[in-house]
Amino acid sequence: PMGICPLARRPLRDNFTGPLQPWARPEVLTCTSWGAPIIWDGTFDPDVAQQKAVEQNLTIGLTVFAVGRYLEKYLERFLETAERHFMVGQRVVYYVFTERPAAVPHVPLGPGRRLRVERVERERRWQDVSMERMRTLHEALGGRLGREARFVFCMDVDQHFSGAFGPEALAESVAQLHAWHYHWPQWLLPFERDARSAAALAPGEGDFYYHAAVFGGSVAALRGLTAHCARGQRQDRARGLEARWHDESHLNKFFWLHKPAKVLSPEFCWSPDIGRRAEIRRPRLLWAPKEYALVRA
Ligand code: UDP
Ligand code: MN
C-alpha cells in the first residue's frame, strides 16, 4: 500500500515534512529496516518542512573546519553557496573552526544568519585534523553552539551547495549515504574490520556506509555521537591503531549501534566524478575535486 514502509509496516511520517511520499520514487530504497525515512527528491514536501521549521522558531547550526590550505581553497565557496541553499528562511549560525581566524573570508550574510569563528590548533597530519573534529565539536556542542542551536549539521568544507538543503533534512539524528557506496553489497563496504579497533564491525554488521562529510541532529544526539567517536579514536591511539577511514569509521560504528532517525539520499552529497545516474535528480551538495597533493601538502 502507498506510503507504508514495507519493512517497518507503518506509514512513513516525519516531524518536519509530515507524511512522506515514498511511492514517488519506486526505483530507490526510501525506508530503512528500522523504519527511518531515506529522503530522496520528490518524497518530501519542502514547503511543509519550511513551514514547520518556521513554526518552531529554530536556530540551525552549521559547523565546518577550514584548517591549513583548506581555508583558501574551499571556505568562501562553501559559505557563499550555503547562503543561497542551506536552510534559507531559517535562523542559521555558522561555526567556522580554523587556526587563522583573521583569514576567514567576509561573506555577506542574509537576515537572521550569523557566522562565528572559533580558533583551533593546527594538527600536523591531515588525518589528525580530520579526527580532532570530533573532540572539538563535542566541546562546542557543550558550549555556546549547543546553547544557540536546536539542530546542527557538521560538514566537510571541500564541497559546495548546488540545490536546496532545507529543514526536510532535520531530525534527531541524520546520516548521509556515501555517494560511492550506496549501491554496493554490504560485504564490500569499507567498514573497519580489524576487531582490535573501537570502530570495528564484525562480518555481517553494518546497515549502510555513511559519509562523514555530512551528519547532523539535535545537540543532545550530536553530543553523544561526538563523545563516542572521540572516545573510540582515543582508545585506538592508545593501542597504536588508526581506523581505516579515520573519524568516518567511528561514525559508521556509532550509527550501527545508534540507528539514525533519518537518512539522506546520495543526492544530498554527490560526487560529480561518478557521472550521471538516473536516480540522482537534484544534487544538493557537490564534492570538490580531490586535490590532495595541493591541500594536504
Ligand atoms: N580538514 C581541514 N584541513 C586539513 C584536513 C582536513 O580543514 O588539513 C577538514 C576539512 O573540513 C575537510 C575535512 O576536514 O573537508 C575532512 O578532510 P578531507 O575532506 O580531506 O577528507 P575526505 O573527504 O577526502 O575523506
Ligand atoms: Mn572531504
Q: pLDDT tens digit string along 12-66?
A: 889 899 899 988 999 999 999 999 999 999 999 999 999 999 999 999 999 999 9
pLDDT at 3: 63
**Above 0.95 for ipTM, yes or no?**
yes
How far, in whole angstroms, is CA 218 from its chain's centroid?
A: 12
Cβ(101)–Cβ(119) under 8 Å? yes
pLDDT at 269: 98
Q: pLDDT tens digit string along 132-144?
A: 999 999 999 999 9
Q: Which residue from 203, 222, 213 is spatially nearest to 260, judged by alpha carbons?
A: 222
| Residue 1 scores a pLDDT above 50 | no
Give residue 5's pLDDT band: very low, low, confident or very high (50, 70, 90). confident
pLDDT at 2: 53
| Residue 155 scores a pLDDT above 90 | yes
Number of Cβ within a 10 Å radius of residue 105: 15
**Ligand 2: distance of its center to the CA of 8 in Å?**
33
- For a mutational test of ligand 1's pocket, the pick from 64, 69, 70, i.e. the residue with the most ligand atoms closer than 8 A to its C-beta, is 70
| Residue 292 scores a pLDDT above 90 | no
pLDDT at 13: 87
Fill in the amino acid letter for 291: E
Cβ(204)–Cβ(135) under 8 Å? no
- Give the three-state DSSP class for 212: strand
**Ligand 1: distance of its center to the CA of 102 in Å?**
20
**Ligand 2: distance of its center to the CA of 28 in Å?**
25
Percent of the chain topping pLDDT 70: 97
Give residue 291's pLDDT band: very low, low, confident or very high (50, 70, 90). confident
Cβ(263)–Cβ(5) under 8 Å? no
Residue ranges lining ligand 1, Cβ < 6 Å: 64-68, 70, 126, 129-130, 156-158, 213, 290
**Ligand 1: distance of its center to the CA of 136 in Å?**
14
Q: pLDDT tens digit string along 66-105?
A: 999 999 999 999 999 999 999 999 999 999 999 999 999 9
- How far apart (Å, rounded) are the C-alpha atoms in residues 91 and 74? 23
- Give the three-state DSSP class for 95: strand
Cell of 209: 556506509
How many helices (H) and strands (E) the chain has is answered by 8, 14
Write the residue with the smallest CA distance to atom 6 of ligand 1.
130
Cβ(37)–Cβ(30) under 8 Å? yes
Write the residue with the smallest CA distance to atom 12 of ligand 1.
156
